[in-house]
Amino acid sequence: MRLLVVELHHLGDAVLSLPFIRAAQTAGHEVHALCRPPSGAIFGMRLGSENIRTWIPRWERGIGTRPDAQPDLAGFDAAVCAWPDLRVHLLLARARIPRRIGFRVSQNNFYAPLPRWRQRRLRLGRLAQAVRGWMPGRPPLTEPLDRDLAAKPAQLGKWRTLARHLDLPWSETTPWFEGGAPPQPFADFLAQAHRNGRSLLLVHPGGRLPTKRWPAGRFHDLLTGPLAGRTDLAIVVIDPPDSPPLDPLPPDILRLATADIAELAAVTSAADVVLCNDSLVSHLAAAAGTRVIALFGSGDPDWFAPVGKANRIIATDRCPHRPCVDRCVMPSLVCLDSIRVESVTEQIRLALDSIRPGR
């Protein structure tokens, strides 16, 4: 079967589709991906470049900008999408893909339906879905599904549902991708840490949106306070492109700027524990099999927690509007401000104890 995987959201979402792609490949299917340009690097860890089609959806283009032409999706036997997005479903119908498998637009399948603007989008989607369903010709989905409400994290659970619907050999065993080589400064630092019997903690303070980033000052307080001078720990801080660097840092901490996603994947794969925000890094590290401590702000861990029983989530219920899908209505980001340095320090201790029992 020539199968198209559609993931037009963000980098972390692309990572969550990798077990499905692996399962389809194991079953002998020819797998292709349709994604935004940045996500091509994620899919490139499982697919050849000739099997990756990048496209910026026209609904993501700014007003007055020229939309991309609709991608050529001819020749596929089936297409799957984990999002209840009627725009994608109609795209697949217009491409005349025979089997269009995905999740119907409904409250249970829809992430964060409580904010008013999300309720409006849900109602419009359900109405348009109903109208299209009554029209003669091609329905948006030929095989509409509903998610397993007991599956957590929910977004990965939807990929599991798709795999089972197609009778694919689902497995969440890590790693989900082929690893590369880390940059030499990191490799040297890691080797020295191992010689000294130290565990390696990788800290990534970045995130795509401010509503997902724990305050930089808190990261700095953690690194210069409770974690400073520990002889059992080697620390690497990634300078992310989306937030300012943490300055100043103790001289024994290695600062690193990864060149691309492949290097970032290699670094997260080699660490013992990764501390990061709810972001690509949390999913990338979990997909590599590394222990993750993920700090959640506006997002919902029940939907997007990094997979793995050993991983730890730090989130609070101080904000009644969470998840808000990054449209904060509070005077400040209380979801992030309420996460204390002491809580993060304790979770780091527990994570390290789990890999060094008896110490």
pLDDT at residue number 67: 61
Model confidence pLDDT, tens digit, residues 177-194: 987 899 999 999 999 999
Structure tokens at 152: 């957590």
pLDDT at residue number 359: 38
Q: Are residues 189 and 80 in the same domain?
A: no
pLDDT at residue number 62: 63
In which residue are the tokens 């630092």 written?
189
Domain limits at 301?
184-355
Q: Are residues 191 and 157 in the same domain?
A: no
Count the neighbouring beta carbons within 10 Å of the beta carbon of residue 41. Answer: 17
Domain annotation covers residue 173: no
How far is residue 328's CA from residue 263's CA, in Å, rounded to a whole number? Answer: 33
DSSP, residue by residue, 199-224 = EEEEEE---SSGGG---HHHHHHHHH
Q: Are residues 38 and 69 in the same domain?
A: yes
CATH number of the domain residue 284 falls in: 3.40.50.2000
Residue 336 carries which DSSP code? H
* pTM across the whole model: 0.94
Domain annotation covers residue 174: no
Domain annotation covers residue 171: no
pLDDT at residue number 81: 98
pLDDT at residue number 135: 58
Ranges of residues in the chain whose predicted pLDDT is under 50: 358-359
Q: Are residues 104 and 146 in the same domain?
A: yes
Model confidence pLDDT, tens digit, residues 2-22: 999 999 999 999 999 999 999
Task: Identify the helix (H) or strand (E) that includes residue 266.
Answer: helix 261-270
Domain annotation covers residue 249: yes
Domain annotation covers residue 216: yes
Model confidence pLDDT, tens digit, residues 110-123: 999 888 889 898 99
Could you say which of 165, 195, 218 is where a domain stops?
Answer: 165
